[in-house]
Amino acid sequence: MVTYRIDTTTLREVPQDVGATWEHVERLEAGGEAGDGGPAVPSGAWRPMLRLSHVLHWRGRLDDADRLVDAVRRAAGAAHDAPGAGEAVRRDCASVLAFADQGQGRARYDAGRYAEAEALFASALDRRTREGAPSDQVESSRISLAAARARRAEGAATL
């Protein structure tokens, strides 16, 4: 089991054992698609992997963070689109995909890649609005989208 602690200064999640965390991620990825089109990552691992991707983002390890988010995105997208997926499954997948978009948007924003951040925040906002997500999540996406648009406009104005 991967465990983490909350840093009391930054309020960020910090893995207790980074090596064990990576071993866990690699096991999940190795158990990936077996040719049956099923999800590469079990649904119970999606949210912990998104949390870990945030820690990696904060540590400046954007490629590693992207690798995790992309694995979650593939799995949640496959589960969402699977024949016979019920409404509850589709809503859960949409929520996970919105969190993935929002998290990757923040990473792009922090990296100064505002056009990419804008697209990701817009996708998160669209999913959250369409799925009736809690108002704080919708508002977070709206604020983030407006900030990315403003930063992109500032960059265009200085060219």
In a domain, 152, yes or no: no
* The predicted structure's pLDDT at residue 2: 67
Mean pLDDT, rounded, for 1-6: 69
pLDDT (tens digit per residue) in 123-143: 999 999 999 999 999 999 999
Domain boundaries, position 3: 1-85
pLDDT (tens digit per residue) in 22-54: 777 777 666 554 444 444 688 888 999 999 998
Rg over alpha carbons for the chain, rounded to the nearest Å, is 16
Nearest to 100 by CA among 58, 141, 42: 141
In a domain, 114, yes or no: no
In a domain, 9, yes or no: yes
Q: Which residues contact 34 (CB under 8 A, 6 or more apart)?
A: none
* H or E stretch at 23: helix 18-30
In a domain, 24, yes or no: yes
Could you tell me how far CA 141 lies from the centroid of its own chain?
A: 13
Mean pLDDT, rounded, for 2-23: 71
pTM score over 0.75: no
In a domain, 66, yes or no: yes
* The predicted structure's pLDDT at residue 31: 56
Indicate the number of domains in the chain. Answer: 1
Quote the CA–CA distance of 16 and 77 in Å, as a whole number: 30
CB 125 within 8 Å of CB 138? yes
The overall average pLDDT reported for the chain is 85
* The predicted structure's pLDDT at residue 143: 94
pLDDT (tens digit per residue) in 84-132: 999 999 999 999 999 999 999 998 998 899 999 999 999 999 999 999 9
In a domain, 46, yes or no: yes
